[in-house]
Each structure stands twice: as C-alpha cells, then as structure tokens.
Structure 1
Amino acid sequence: MQVTLTDEGRNIVKRAMSEQLGMLKIVYDTDGCGCAVSGVPKLQLVSNKTETDIDIKSEDGDIPILIERRFQVFFDPKMTLSASVKPGRLQLKSDQQIFHSRLAITY
C-alpha cells in the first residue's frame, strides 16, 4: 500500500503534527454503521504503533503513515492525500474512487 501526499496535503498534515507529535493513521471506522463492511475513513494522529498496525509507504517517507492490517481490504493499493475544498481538511482518493473528500485529522 502506498500514499502520495500532495504539497498542500503534506502542509496540512505537518501543521497537525506540529501541534501533537505522532504518526498519521488511516482508520476505517465502522461504529454505528450497521455492519463491519460499512464504514468511513478517518485520519488520526497516534503516538504509538500497535502490533496490528503496518507501515504504509509514502512518497518521500518524511511522514510516517500507518493502517491496521485488517483495514487494508477497504482501500486501494495506491492512494493520494490532498487538500480538500474545505480549508484544513484532506481528501483521500485513488484513481478508482474518492474515499472521503473532507477528512479532519483527529488526536
């Protein structure tokens, strides 16, 4: 799995990381969605990597990105994280689809 960050996307992530040190984690949240395959992507800054997390390759490697191994199936092998039309938010997409167009980074 690989994530490319645009310059604008990288700036948003680095701004969030300057407020709280950590690693960016892509989460597939299924709480309240009805079943385990209906969920929404979220971005979190986490301080520790768990035993179920795996590293995602980023273009230049300057931003550590994680995902839980079991959530890989819900995403595409190559994705892009870019600035959203809403200021301070991010868009996660691939060539096939847009996963979320207004992601906030939570702590």
Structure 2
Amino acid sequence: MRIQMDEYTESKIKEKLGDRPGSLRLVYDTINCGCNGVVTLQIADKPWDTDVPVESEVFEVWTDRQQEQQFDPVMKLEADRNYPSFKLSSDGAVFSRNLKVTDLRKPEHSVL
C-alpha cells in the first residue's frame, strides 16, 4: 500500500507532528465511534507490533496488517485548505472527507 500527499498536506502533517518524533498510523477505528467504524490518522510514538509499513515519500506511515485490506493499494491524503481536516481517497473511493488526527504520543516531561 502507498499513500500520496501534496506539499500543502505534508506541511499540515508536519505542523501536527511539531518538533517531537512520531509515526503516523492509518487506522479503521471501531472503538467508541457509535457506528461501523471511521478512518482515523493517529500519531504514535512508534509503530505497534501488528503494524505493517505504508509507502510514503516523506513520513513513516503504518497500518495494522489486519486492517490493510480495508484500504486501496494507492491512497491519497489531502489537507483541506478551508477547514482544519483531511480527506482520504483513492481512484475508486472516498474513505473520509473529515479525517480526524489523534495524537497518541506520551506527553513530554521536563527534567529539572
């Protein structure tokens, strides 16, 4: 699987990452969503044990190996220029027009 992004989208993802390290995870989330599931983009400290890599030119991106079948071989992630959200699509489908980004990284602790 491969995910493509334009420069504007890359800049918005970089804003979300900030100065802290992190991996992106593309997830079909069914927990506490009140529906059959929603696609989310997570920022994690590292990939999870069940994750497989997703090709990306700029970022380290992962998805759960059992969820990989939910997505198409080539996906496109686009930041909305008029609203703080993302769209995930492929040539054959729109997976989300309002993709939520959730930061799961552990908070930084300062040492005094």
Same fold (TM over 0.5): yes
Taking structure 2 as the reference length, what is the TM-score of the superposition? 0.82
Query: When you count helix as a share of all residues, which structure comes out higher?
Result: 1
- After superposition, the C-alpha distances for 1:53-82 in whole angstroms (9 at most, x for unaligned) are 011001x2x211010001011111100001
Separation in structure 2 between the aligned mates of residue 12 and residue 25 of structure 1, nearest angstrom: 16
Distance in 1 (alpha carbons) for counterparts of 2:13 and 2:81: 15
Separation in 2, partners of 1:44, 1:92: 13
CA–CA separation in structure 1 for the residues paired with 2:50 and 2:71:
17
* Larger mean Cα displacement after TM superposition, 16-25 or 49-58: 16-25
In structure 1, list runs of 5 or more residues that go unmatched.
none
Matched residues, percent identical?
A: 30
Pairing 1:45–2:40 present: no
Answer whether contact 1:20 1:45 (CA < 8 A) is retained: no
Any gaps of 5 or more consecutive residues in structure 2? 104-112
Bigger-Rg structure (1/2)? 2
Report the aligned-residue RMSD. Answer: 1.8
